[in-house]
Structure 1
Amino acid sequence: MAHFPDTPSFTGFNTPSRIEADIADLVHQGEIPRELNGAFYRVQPDPQFPPRLGDDIAFNGDGMITRFHFHEGQCDFRQRWAKTDKWKLENEAGKALFGAYRNPLTDDESVKGRYRSTANTNAWIHGGKLYALKEDSPALVMDAGSMETDGFTDFASKAGIKMTGQTFTAHPKIDPKTGNMIGFGYASSGLCTDDCTFYEITPEGELVHEIWFKVPYYCMMHDFGITEDYAVFNVMPSIGSWDRLEKGLPHFGFDTSMPVYLGVLPRHKGATGDDIRWFKTGNSFNSHVMNAFQDGSKVHFDIPVAKNNMFPFFPDVNGAPFNGMEAMSYLTRWTVDMASNSDAFESEVQLTQTAGEFPRIDDRFTGKPYRYGWMLEMDMKRPVELKGGSAGGLLMNCLCLIDHQTKTEQHWWCGPVSSLQEPCFIPRSADAPEGDGWIVQVCNRLEEHRSDLLLFDALDIEKGPIATIQVPIRLRFGLHGNFASAEQIGLAA
């Protein structure tokens, strides 16, 4: 009998769900636009078995992929496990075999050397395929229609080119010009190494080219940005080492004494790792990227930045207590000049007084100058009766829209007994103007232990959801998700 620990990662709204289901025509209030035809995929960490070591962090749960299929004014639901090697081995054994988050020293001997991926961080669509992503391993391919698992991929091409790095990011980008998927991996030659790889992959899933490069120090490199000519990497001191793993410490710990770097790597085929340019600034916590773009020789990089560590489960390396107020992040524009002779940032400008994270854009403007951005807001001034449902424990209680052109914002509050998961933009059509479409996101109904899917007019979020779709099961805290049109994934109306 499964007995999960009585700890915050496994109780309350984070109680394991472990449900695979198909539900046609979910009940909803409001109106689902009939022209909305496609599917929103998202992922939640959801442990198949109680943790091997007695407790665990929420980030180590097995990947469970949810699909909301919109068609003809209705929404259908499908949820399936991402059946990784880890999932299959443990399912056969009937118990957990893999130990602590990114620490293979804690695994059962029978699974030594196997992929440890939980595929629990992003549900990504490229070339009609569904990819379940976790940054410590290769990408896991799933069928976008059936949602059955195919297996891990090295993106081998017909010419025999395949990725040689060991890892693939949870945050790839699509180049709007070519349609290629741009990705990278860190710890590419092995756990805790400073080797990284850059990848470009066609819609057919074939690797075009790969570039190896080194970073100033090994750390959690969760996201990155692209521009027309460059890949841009933020390196911040949530650091790890084999020494930490041997001592049984969490894989990552935050070091407030170390600098932050921004690496700018030319993307063209002839580039090598020696071509990367590193810029340096003071200490901060920074993770998810809103966007990056070029302006002449200048590269702009928009990212929420916090004064201190945002992840209490990866604590300060010197034992300092978690500081909630210093963990609040604010969207900031970093600018570096490729024509300069300095390794300093040209400027660091905070773009808003709104604390927020999980930034998203109209993805058709990835790597280009853009106007609109959405994010989850942490508004401590709003009344709070219940907390929960977020990945890091911070209160995510508002949806925020930022208009960079007019420097105005809109805000929508979900109420005192709810919280929100990451938003995703859906364009009204392939050629619609920037921002013309909808925002979709999961709302955690903490009091009722269930979930709603909310649909907003993307540029008028303050009027509230145009449709509230009731999910009759509780969706655990989710990380990232994406939308694909029915045409892209071969789903019939």
Structure 2
Amino acid sequence: MAHFPETPAFTGFNTPSRIEADIADLDVKGAIPRELDGAFYRVQPDPQFAPRLGDDIAFNGDGMITMFRFKDGRVDFKQRWAQTDKWKLEHEAGRGLFGAYRNPLTDDESVKGKIRGTANTNAFVYGGKLYALKEDSPALVMNPATLETEGYTWFNGAMTGQTFTAHPKVDPETGDMIAFGYAAKGVLTLDMTYYVVSPEGELKQELWFELPYYAMMHDFAITPDYALFHVVPSTSNWERLEQGLPHFGFDTTLPVYLGVLPRRADATAEDIRWFKRDNCFASHVMNAFQDGTKFHFDTPEAKNNMFPFFPDIHGAPFNPMESASFLTRWTVDMAANSDAFESTERLSSMMGEFPRIDDRRTGLPYRYGWMLVIDPSKPVELKGGSPAGMLMNCLGMVDHETGQDQKWWCGPISSLQEPCFIPRAPDAAEGDGWIVMVCNRLEEHRSDLLLFDATDIAKGPIAEARIPVRLRFGLHGNWASAEEIGLAA
């Protein structure tokens, strides 16, 4: 008989949920704008079975997709498993068959060579399809209206890489989906792929290149003419996997790189230019844009590793103070004769992560950004446990035009999940719309869906939809209009 471990990743608020459900017309406090017509999708790692090895990290749970359907001032809830090959094999066996996170050496012999992806990192709608994404595998396609799983896609057989990022971007001018894959020739390989996909699902470009060293390539940025890849030393090797150590470890002795790749159809690996700076930690990207020959790349930066479950490879203890991240602008100049960064500049005094923008400004100069913020000055009562190692207790907004920040605190016994911007209309001004996000009610072991006026978050939510179940700590999510998902009236 299976038993989940009595560890922080599996107890308290983070106890596995494993609930598929349909709930009509959630109880709402406040008022949901009637013009909202579409759906907010998000995903949480949620293990179908107890870990094969007895314990695991939260990042290795199976993908559970949540859909919040907004229409006529009400919101409906739907939740389904992302039925990956892994999920199906384990469902049939009735137990866990795949072992440790990103370590195929720990799998049951019956699943050797099978796709290990969990589709647990992002829920992304594009071209009328819902992509459930995990960066160590191809993209899993689901029906955005029913949440039924269709299966992995290789874009009509044109994709030869083995992996697809969890953070694709949509070029606001061309409408193409821009993406990449790392470890594209298999576990621990240096090989990267750059992809361009049309709304019809045609793979228009696949370009191969190599990294300076193997690293977790979680996110990236685009401008109209370039793709920017930051290489940060969350790294690994076969020795770690053979010893049963966590897949990734942070190496404070390696430099950080920013690769700038022209987005031309005839570009090759030789066209990428690598800039270099001193060691730091950075994962997600708020946005990037070009100013003449200069590129500005905005990312939450920390002095040291932010992931205690991916420890220092040299054995140094985790340093919480140095894990604090602040939105920072990296600037490089293509006209420079050096590979050094031109500058780094802190853009906000707020400590935070999970940055988002009005996605219609992707790759362009932009004014507004939102993120989860940790405010250590606020009181904290971890009743019921925290859903993650860091307690994100505020929603923050940065206004790059005025230099002013806004912040809203969720209270001492709640925490927040990633925000997402919803435009009021396709042609509305930047920032004219709403922010939607999940709030964890830690003591009550349930969740709320919060809706804010996007540029006036300090006044608090304009609507709160009570979810009568607990949503585990989620990673990323996105909004899609009813037209985009085939549900327009």
Does 1:125 find its partner at 2:121? Answer: no
SS in 2 for 1:489: coil
SS in 1 for 2:229: strand
* Ranges in structure 2 where 5+ consecutive residues have no aligned partner: none
Matches within 5 A, 1:96-111: 96-111=96-111
Describe the superposition over 1:373-400 as per-residue Cα deviations: whole angstroms up to 9, x where unpaired. Answer: 0000011010001175554x11100000
Alignment-derived partner of residue 33 in structure 1: 33
AA matched with 1:105: L
> Is the CA contact (8 Å cut-off) linking 2:14 and 2:387 kept in structure 1?
no
Describe the superposition over 1:282-311 as per-residue Cα deviations: whole angstroms up to 9, x where unpaired. Answer: 000100000011000101100000001000
Q: For 1:466, which of 443, 462, 466 is the aligned residue?
A: 462
Matches within 5 A, 1:406-421: 406-421=402-417
How many Å separate the matches in 2 of 1:355 and 1:227?
26
How many Å separate the matches in 1 of 2:31 and 2:374?
28
Alignment-derived partner of residue 371 in structure 2: 375
Alignment-derived partner of residue 252 in structure 1: 248
Describe the superposition over 1:328-356 as per-residue Cα deviations: whole angstroms up to 9, x where unpaired. Answer: 10000000001111100011001111100
How many Å separate the matches in 2 of 1:186 and 1:204?
24
> Is the CA contact (8 Å cut-off) linking 1:184 and 1:198 kept in structure 2?
yes
Does 1:350 find its partner at 2:346? Answer: yes
How many Å separate the matches in 1 of 2:387 and 2:55?
18
Matches within 5 A, 1:61-72: 61-72=61-72
Alignment-derived partner of residue 362 in structure 1: 358
AA matched with 2:465: I
Alignment-derived partner of residue 397 in structure 1: 393
> Is the CA contact (8 Å cut-off) linking 1:299 and 1:337 kept in structure 2?
yes
Alignment-derived partner of residue 428 in structure 1: 424
How many Å separate the matches in 2 of 1:286 and 1:236?
7
Does 1:311 find its partner at 2:318? Answer: no
Does 1:176 find its partner at 2:172? Answer: yes
* Ranges in structure 1 where 5+ consecutive residues have no aligned partner: none
How many Å separate the matches in 2 of 1:395 and 1:322?
17
Describe the superposition over 1:399-429 as per-residue Cα deviations: whole angstroms up to 9, x where unpaired. Answer: 0010000000110000000000000000000
AA matched with 2:486: G
How many Å separate the matches in 2 of 1:266 and 1:34?
43
Alignment-derived partner of residue 439 in structure 1: 435
How many Å separate the matches in 2 of 1:320 and 1:340?
36
**Segments of 4+ moved more than 2 angstroms:** 387-391
Q: For 1:269, which of 265, 270, 281 is the aligned residue?
A: 265
Matches within 5 A, 1:175-214: 175-214=171-210
How many Å separate the matches in 2 of 1:35 and 1:185?
37
Alignment-derived partner of residue 238 in structure 2: 242
How many Å separate the matches in 2 of 1:452 and 1:2?
31
Describe the superposition over 1:83-123 as per-residue Cα deviations: whole angstroms up to 9, x where unpaired. Answer: 00000000000000000000000000000000000000000
AA matched with 1:106: T
Change (3 A) 1:288 1:390: farther
TM-score scaled by structure 2?
0.99
Moved more, 313-322 or 95-104: 313-322
AA matched with 1:117: G
Matches within 5 A, 1:10-21: 10-21=10-21
Describe the superposition over 1:136-170 as per-residue Cα deviations: whole angstroms up to 9, x where unpaired. Answer: 000000000110000000112xxxx6111110000
How many Å separate the matches in 1 of 2:122 and 2:467?
20
Q: For 1:292, which of 288, 295, 310 is the aligned residue?
A: 288
> Is the CA contact (8 Å cut-off) linking 1:390 and 1:396 kept in structure 2?
no
> Is the CA contact (8 Å cut-off) linking 2:250 and 2:313 kept in structure 1?
yes
How many Å separate the matches in 1 of 2:183 and 2:99?
19
AA matched with 2:362: T
AA matched with 2:117: S
How many Å separate the matches in 1 of 2:18 and 2:377?
35
Q: For 1:384, which of 380, 387, 398 is the aligned residue?
A: 380
How many Å separate the matches in 2 of 1:442 and 1:313?
24
AA matched with 1:125: V
TM-score scaled by structure 1?
0.98
Alignment-derived partner of residue 334 in structure 1: 330
> Is the CA contact (8 Å cut-off) linking 1:390 and 1:420 kept in structure 2?
no
> Is the CA contact (8 Å cut-off) linking 2:326 and 2:346 kept in structure 1?
yes
Shift of 1:2: 3.5
> Is the CA contact (8 Å cut-off) linking 2:12 and 2:386 kept in structure 1?
no
How many Å separate the matches in 2 of 1:461 and 1:381?
19
